[in-house]
Homo-oligomer: A and B are copies of this chain.
Amino acid sequence: MIKNQKFITNAADLPECIGDLSAVKDALYAIGGKWKLPILMALFGGNQRFNELLRGVIGISSKILSNELKDLEENGFIQRKVIESYPLVVEYELKPYSYTLLDVVIALSEWGLMHREKLKNEFSS
């Protein structure tokens, strides 16, 4: 069910604090772009190997996935975990800091569902 009723649709109902512009820019700088959040969301379900991520994050190329994983690792969102076996297995694992993104992910997910519904209605009417 789409919770349309929770969305404010006019200026009069705006809360006094509508967020800090530079903080939003900082957030977009760290986790904006097309791929970082989808990669982290795939890992919310549990550790994954490179090829599992490549299949799970539809549309990403091997080169971009590799770069994004390095970025996410450098910025403390994930870590590479080497499992001693033969052959060696490398998994990617969320670090606790990634869980701080949960509210962002949920807000984007709810908005995305609502937006998709809107586009569907416009297309069918």
Contacts and interface: CB of A to CB of B under 8 A. Distances in A.
Interface of A: 6-11, 13-15, 17-34, 37-38, 41-42, 44, 94, 96-97, 99-116, 118
Q: In this complex, which of A6, A15, A27, A44 has the most chain B Cβ atoms within 10 angstroms of its Cβ? A: A27
A112 B27 contact: yes
A96 B101 CA distance: 27
Given A10-B96, A105-B18, A116 B23 contact: yes
A23 B118 CA distance: 13
Contacts of A7: 99-100, 102-103
A24 B96 contact: no
A99 B34 CA distance: 23
Contacts of A10: 96, 99
